[in-house]
Structure 1
Amino acid sequence: MIRYPRSIRARSSLAASALALVALAVVGATSSLAVRYRVQDDAFYHVEQIASQWSAAARAGTIPRMIPVSGDIRLIQLVDARGQVVAASRTARGRPPLSTMRPPADDRVQRVTDGRVLLVAIRITAAPDAPVVLAQRPVPALLSGHLLEYGLAGAALTLAAIVACTSWIAAGRTLRPVEAIRARLAEITVSDLSLRMAVPPGDDEIARLVRTANQTLDRLDGAVAQQRTFAFTASHELRNPIAGLHLQLEEALLHPGEVDLYDTIRSALSVADRLDAIVGDLLALARLGAGEPAPPELIDLGELAGREAPRAGRVPVRVRADGQVWVRGSRIQLARVLGNLLSNAIRHAESAVDVFVTTSTGEAVVRVADDGAGIAPADRERIFERFTRLDDGRRRDAGGSGLGLPISLDIARSHGGTLQAEDSPHGAQFVLRLPLIDDRPEQHAERVCAARQQF
């Protein structure tokens, strides 16, 4: 099993070297063939020039019986039609013909090589009995053996080594900031998220990576701080009713004759109900924070608001809907939002609660208004913080958890909408906005049937 290097630096250098070797191998093979062809062609051309010179002399009848030579061409012969050597150079004299080849009349010049020598045969004339000039020389030293290939291979390996070294150095310089980022991140712990990495100059990939990492750390730091605050506040909110319940039960045990057991049990049940409400709200927040997807469905907000509005209560609830207003989402979660808003409005209303379900520029809008004391502008953002309860709310309902509005806001955001407190002529007004769906259930069913019929 082949094991590849774990280091990016080593892998990049290895890949660069392999690519360089492949490219250099192709270039080397091509160069070897080109050089061999060129050197051999030049050598043949030189031999052909000498042979042509003595062929012309033979046609003129001026060729000597002892043909003078110079350079690398030592073997020259003039062979007649019977294969007899008529004239030859000193080295070729007394030898049999260098070749039995006789070029045809229509192609008087022929080149032949056996890998050791280069031979050129030239027919003097087109006549049937025309003699042939043969000239021969050794193959050039560059073409003998594999010296050329060895030289090219050595050059290719040298260049590949240079490429590997250069890639190693360049990768090291490129990855040096990444190693610094890794070392800096290793210093960051959950207990201390204040450390940040220095952003290198420029706008390259490394700089963008550092900026993104710092932004992620900022968000993580904020989330951890929010979770710590939430845990502290939740512990505080749970500790008070638990301490009160413990005190009541302890008093009943220590002074059984002086305590009304019925009142004690009823008070304990009231505290238990509050604890159950707080725990249920905490679980709902945890599910929303975990992003658990709810099965989407088409919901008519007007119909849902009518279902959630209590038929009888402390004050009447009037629901007014502009026809059918459709949204897509979780019916259970949106019902909880409307229930929280209605409960909050009924708690603070003096005489009535009004619910308006309308549409506006691609949005479904639900307004829940009461005629109570209202909410001060300075508190309209704060009331959506977890465990935040205004003095008027504590006075009207001491058992609330302070999580209803934060849960409603998280549900609205998970559905792509918003929830906020807005101005109202009388009392408070909460406005829920969700993406409007123009698709009616009947139209959706018709399109599904039409699509199935196409297949």
Structure 2
Amino acid sequence: MAGRHMPSLLRPRSIQARTALMSAVLSLVFLTVIGFSLDIAIRNRIHDHLFMETQRVATDWISSMGSGGVPEPPAGHKDLVQLVDSRNRVITASRAARGLPPLTTPFPTGQDPLQYRIDCPDEGRCVVLTAVRVLPMQSRLFWDGEPHAVYAGRTEPGLLASRRLELFIGIGVLLMTAGWTWASWRVAGRTLRPVREIRERVTEISVRDLTLRVPQPSGRDEIAELARASNHLLEHLDTSVRQQKHFASMVSHELRSPLAGLRTQLEEALLYREETDPYETIRTAVRTTERCQAIIDEMLTVARVRTAATGEPELVSLGALAREEAAARTDGVPVHVDVEDEVTVLGNRVQLCGVLTNLMVNAQRHACSRVDVTVGRAGGEAVVTVLDDGDGIAPEDRERVFEPFVRLKEGRRRDPKGTGLGLALCRVTADTHHGTLRVEDSPRGARFVLRLPLPAGVSPVGAGQALSR
């Protein structure tokens, strides 16, 4: 069981804790390496200094040995100086080294007369010393040629002997690791603070209220981009939910009246069987059902275009499509098509065909004598204009006509059976194709203008060849 819980202990859930833990581990390893290197450097520096001092003491004493004999050893209270013979017996020593055995063994050889050594007895501090062999001329002068040597040493400082250096370095490593870990914890906490605020705000947001937005920090880092993307998504969700609620309320309103009338007629037929013509009741019910079915079908079409993911787009020639749809409009006022420039767009052919059909049908319904359809381009957009010579649309109603189930008085008079979803479907289709559909000014009649982006890198000739294949 302990093995199962170990990974969770070593890997905390919090990103802040994981960041601090990783920083602590890395800083501890890094600072330990630095502390180990610093310990070696300090020890070597102190030892080198002691070697230089002991060598100076030994060589100065040897240099003072002349015709006047062997002088007394140096009297420094820190200097451990001994004169030993070839059998490593102490001949004379300084006051600090009297009574001590030889500071080091073995006796230095003739091939290596100067040696640096660190001797550590079983008890006590280590001795850093220099062993120097006396010159042969001096050995012949004083000891009949028997080799002698001078041992000059100093006791290792307490900082090194008691391991206090390692203790101080270890404490420093731990303090610096703790400081670095604390700094990493604070920095990670400050960095992740916007994330916590976003999480807290997201928990407050519900489907019933999508007006709230997450806090958006300044800057262009990943957290700021996440906040902007989240707000963008919330805005789209809010718009979609509001459209869905509005759409559902309008659908229920449009269906409530015919269904209520249908129910009333059926109830009257049941209550007044002898006074009611059953065939007339059935015919009326069929007409009401057809109207309800038309509303539901167009409602589903609008919902499908708005929410369904579009398939693979294809090259569509708007000029050819306009000619085909105009040729199919044999009833009503004539439709004239003028293709100023062959333009091709990427999109759903069936949906774009539905847009042109609805615009032409709407224009024929309100036109007096003719409908003009113009296909061209303006800048980087394909432009399709459908113009009728009717009474036109008032400026305050030019956006209302694209709302679902909105029908102006003239439209209800000319087409009592209409549902008011045709232009709404056209606007939704234009939006899904990253285009626009608006009612623009015209000297007479209503002028609907559809603008769609032109695909990059597709020429009209190439598009026509692609369509012909």
State the TM-score, normalized to the length of structure 1: 0.82
Does residue 102 (structure 1) correspond to residue 108 (structure 2)? The answer is yes
In the TM superposition, residue 318 of structure 1 has moved relative to its aligned partner by 2.2
1:296 counterpart residue number: 313
Given that 1:298 and 1:441 are in contact with CA atoms closer than 8 Å, whether structure 2 keeps it comes out as no
**Matched letter for residue 285 of structure 1:** V
Does residue 117 (structure 1) correspond to residue 127 (structure 2)? The answer is yes
Given that 1:83 and 1:97 are in contact with CA atoms closer than 8 Å, whether structure 2 keeps it comes out as no
Indicate how the Cα distance of structure 1 residues 226 and 299 shifts in structure 2: closer, same or farther if over 3 A, else same: closer
1:439 counterpart residue number: 458
State the TM-score, normalized to the length of structure 2: 0.79
> Could you list the per-position Cα deviations for residues 368-400 of structure 1 after superposition, in whole angstroms to 9, with x for gaps in the alignment?
122222111221111112221111111111222
1:287 counterpart residue number: 304
In the TM superposition, residue 9 of structure 1 has moved relative to its aligned partner by 4.0
Does residue 22 (structure 1) correspond to residue 29 (structure 2)? The answer is yes
1:233 counterpart residue number: 250
- Which stretch of structure 1 is more off in the superposition, 214-223 or 182-191? 214-223
> Could you list the per-position Cα deviations for residues 170-202 of structure 1 after superposition, in whole angstroms to 9, with x for gaps in the alignment?
6667766765665555444444456678999x8
1:158 counterpart residue number: 175
- Which stretch of structure 1 is more off in the superposition, 383-392 or 433-442? 433-442
- Which stretch of structure 1 is more off in the superposition, 226-235 or 411-420? 226-235
Identity %: 44
Counterparts of 1:117 and 1:94 in 2: how far apart (Å)?
A: 12
In the TM superposition, residue 326 of structure 1 has moved relative to its aligned partner by 1.0
**Mind listing any 5+ residue stretches in structure 1 that lack a counterpart?**
448-455
Q: Among 360, 377, 393, which residue is 2:411 paired with?
A: 393
1:70 counterpart residue number: 76
2:51 counterpart residue number: 44
Counterparts of 2:376 and 2:153 in 1: how far apart (Å)?
A: 105
Indicate how the Cα distance of structure 1 residues 256 and 353 shifts in structure 2: closer, same or farther if over 3 A, else same: farther
**Matched letter for residue 51 of structure 1:** A
SS in 1 for 2:295: helix
Q: Among 139, 149, 166, which residue is 2:156 paired with?
A: 139
Counterparts of 2:337 and 2:266 in 1: how far apart (Å)?
A: 45
> Could you list the per-position Cα deviations for residues 108-164 of structure 1 after superposition, in whole angstroms to 9, with x for gaps in the alignment?
532123554323122444879775322234433323364322322122223333444
1:273 counterpart residue number: 290
In the TM superposition, residue 432 of structure 1 has moved relative to its aligned partner by 0.8
Counterparts of 1:316 and 1:148 in 2: how far apart (Å)?
A: 103
**Matched letter for residue 158 of structure 2:** A
2:387 counterpart residue number: 369
2:324 counterpart residue number: 307
Given that 1:85 and 1:97 are in contact with CA atoms closer than 8 Å, whether structure 2 keeps it comes out as no
Correspondences of 1:375-386 after superposition (within 5 Å)? 375-386=393-404
Counterparts of 2:133 and 2:441 in 1: how far apart (Å)?
A: 115
Indicate how the Cα distance of structure 1 residues 48 and 213 shifts in structure 2: closer, same or farther if over 3 A, else same: same
SS in 1 for 2:65: helix
In the TM superposition, residue 260 of structure 1 has moved relative to its aligned partner by 4.5
Given that 1:342 and 1:368 are in contact with CA atoms closer than 8 Å, whether structure 2 keeps it comes out as yes
CA RMSD of aligned residues (A): 3.8
**Mind listing any 5+ residue stretches in structure 2 that lack a counterpart?**
1-5, 121-125, 140-144
Counterparts of 2:381 and 2:49 in 1: how far apart (Å)?
A: 86
Corresponding pairs, count:
443
Counterparts of 1:433 and 1:181 in 2: how far apart (Å)?
A: 38
In the TM superposition, residue 344 of structure 1 has moved relative to its aligned partner by 1.1
- Which stretch of structure 1 is more off in the superposition, 395-404 or 89-98? 89-98
Correspondences of 1:307-386 after superposition (within 5 Å)? 307-309=324-326, 310-322=328-340, 324-386=342-404
Counterparts of 1:421 and 1:242 in 2: how far apart (Å)?
A: 34
Given that 2:83 and 2:148 are in contact with CA atoms closer than 8 Å, whether structure 1 keeps it comes out as no
Counterparts of 1:439 and 1:166 in 2: how far apart (Å)?
A: 56
**Matched letter for residue 112 of structure 1:** R
Given that 1:77 and 1:97 are in contact with CA atoms closer than 8 Å, whether structure 2 keeps it comes out as no
> Could you list the per-position Cα deviations for residues 316-362 of structure 1 after superposition, in whole angstroms to 9, with x for gaps in the alignment?
22222235321111111111111211221122122222221112222
In the TM superposition, residue 8 of structure 1 has moved relative to its aligned partner by 4.0
Given that 2:114 and 2:132 are in contact with CA atoms closer than 8 Å, whether structure 1 keeps it comes out as yes
- Which stretch of structure 1 is more off in the superposition, 322-331 or 83-92? 83-92
Counterparts of 1:60 and 1:239 in 2: how far apart (Å)?
A: 136
In the TM superposition, residue 419 of structure 1 has moved relative to its aligned partner by 0.8
